[in-house]
Amino acid sequence: MIKVNNYQDLNESQKEELKKIALARVQVMPRDLNVSVGSESMNKNELIKHINEGDGIGESLMLTELEFLRDLASGAIYANE
Amino acid sequence: MSKTLLVTRPNHDKTTNYLYYWSVLVIKEARKRGVDVYDLSGKKATKNNLDSYLKSQKPRLLFLNGHGDEKTITGHDFEPILESGRKEPVENTIIYARSCEAASVLGSKLIKDGATSFIGYLRKFIFGYTPSKITRPLEDSLAKLFLEPSNLVVIAIIKGNSVEEAHERSKKAMFENFKKMISTTATHEEKYAARWLWGNINSQVIYGEKGAVI
């Protein structure tokens, strides 16, 4: 599992791997759900576009995905119980 | 020092519109508890107005809603209203910034400018919402899972809790919502959106005097 908190700390191979993971996971995002990230309000298709383009919004979404998966795997999300 | 709350809440796009409406609940609670509220809503959320109220009213509590980045928080139509590149008149003020990334650079700069405490987010503040509820944000049960716990930062301070207690109560409320969102009884939308709330939990930080109260 990739262990970084900053997208720029990833090497190109890791960025590609993370993009694949994020794109695969976003396929199951419900249609009746939008997200506000910074100044952008997005539906599923717009979110996919940002991840594909790897812009600032896309980077934020990918890192959020990575953090969630990492903390699920490590059990950190249950640490506050 | 009088118990005074200054709020900025522009509403020029979908994101700020949600924050605009959800901030009303904080304002109501403050007024109910006898706190003087100065409300820079919509087009009134400008740099000139903010500076004017900060200097003349010297509010103990400043609640900022809007877009932002590491060095800036904006008001109406993305006008920068707080910036790390200038000295801001925030002496003796407790600040909660419901805005992206402001904790990264701006938050600690505001403490250097004299703010008592700062609560904000290191990364982007993210929330999920229901498209069909966009004209009625307060009826959006999905957005509520994100915005009600963030409102709690200010409400807890208004109720007399310290800044640190307010920060912890907010994070605890976020975590309670997060647990509901990953449970078997959650909707598909809630389960998917849980990752974004988890990001907010990890991104919310506190600077300055943790024991400060209004």
Identify the residue whose tokens are 């109406």. B76
**B99, HSE (Cβ side, Cα atoms, 13 Å):** 34
Is there a domain that residue A6 lies in?
Answer: no
In terms of CA atoms, which chain B residue is nearest residue A64?
A: B199
Neighbours of B2 (CB within 10 A): 10
Percent of chain B with pLDDT over 90: 98
pLDDT digits (tens, 9 = 90+) for B96-119: 999 999 999 999 999 999 999 999
pLDDT digits (tens, 9 = 90+) for B36-49: 999 999 999 999 99
pLDDT of residue B110: 97
Domains of chain B in sequence order: 4-208 (3.40.50.1460)
A4, pLDDT greater than 70: no
The interface predicted TM-score (ipTM) is 0.91
Is there a domain that residue A69 lies in?
Answer: yes
Q: What is the 3-state secondary structure (H, E, C) of B62-120?
A: EEEECCEECCEEECHHHCEEEECCCCCCCCCCEEEEECCCCCCCHHHHHHHCCCCEEEE
Neighbours of B172 (CB within 10 A): 14
If pLDDT is split at 50, 70 and 90, which confidence band does A3 have? Answer: low
Is there a domain that residue A4 lies in?
Answer: no
B172, pLDDT greater than 90: yes
Tell me which of A65-79, B3-17, B48-62, B82-96 is least confident: A65-79
Is there a domain that residue A35 lies in?
Answer: yes
* Strand ranges of the sheet holding B68-69, from the earlier edge strand across to the other edge: B68-69, B72-74, B80-83
A5, pLDDT greater than 70: no
Range(s) of the domain holding residue A38 = 11-78
pLDDT digits (tens, 9 = 90+) for B50-90: 999 999 999 999 999 999 999 999 999 999 999 999 999 99
pLDDT of residue A81: 63
Q: Is A41 close to B15, i.e. CB distance below 8 A?
A: yes
* Strand ranges of the sheet holding B4-9, from the earlier edge strand across to the other edge: B36-41, B4-9, B61-65, B94-98, B117-121, B204-208
Average pLDDT over residues B175-180: 96
Element (H, E) at B166: helix B163-181
A10, pLDDT greater than 70: yes
Is there a domain that residue A5 lies in?
Answer: no
Query: Minimal Cα–Cα distance from A18 to chain B, Å?
Result: 15
Q: Which residues of B touch A48 (CB under 8 A)?
A: none
Tell me the pTM.
0.94
Is there a domain that residue A36 lies in?
Answer: yes
Q: Which residues of B touch A41 (CB under 8 A)?
A: 13-15, 129
Q: How many domains does chain A have?
A: 1
Q: What distance in Å separates the CA atoms of residue B59 and residue B37, rounded to the nearest whole number?
A: 9
What residues contact B177, with CB distance under 8 A and at least 6 apart?
B145, B146, B148, B149, B197
Provide the phi-psi class of B63: left if phi over 0, else alpha when psi is between -120 and 50, else beta.
beta
B2, pLDDT greater than 70: no
Could you give the maximum distance between any two Cα atoms of chain A, in Å? 37
Is there a domain that residue A2 lies in?
Answer: no
Round the average pLDDT of chain B to a whole number and report it: 96
Q: What distance in Å separates the CA atoms of residue B149 and residue B154, rounded to the nearest whole number?
A: 10
B119 DSSP β-pair partners? B96, B206
Least Cα distance to B9 among B50, B62, B64, B49 occurs for: B64
pLDDT digits (tens, 9 = 90+) for A23-60: 999 999 999 999 999 888 999 999 999 999 999 899 99
CA B200, B205, B211, B214 torsion-angle sign: negative
Higher-pLDDT residue of B129, A17: B129
Q: What single-letter amino acid sits at B17?
A: N
Return the residue in A21, A31, A36 with the most chain B beta carbons within 10 A, the one to mutate for interface testing. Answer: A36
Tokens of B26: 């904080």
Is there a domain that residue A17 lies in?
Answer: yes
Q: Which residues of B touch A77 (CB under 8 A)?
A: 178, 182, 198
If pLDDT is split at 50, 70 and 90, which confidence band does A2 have? Answer: low
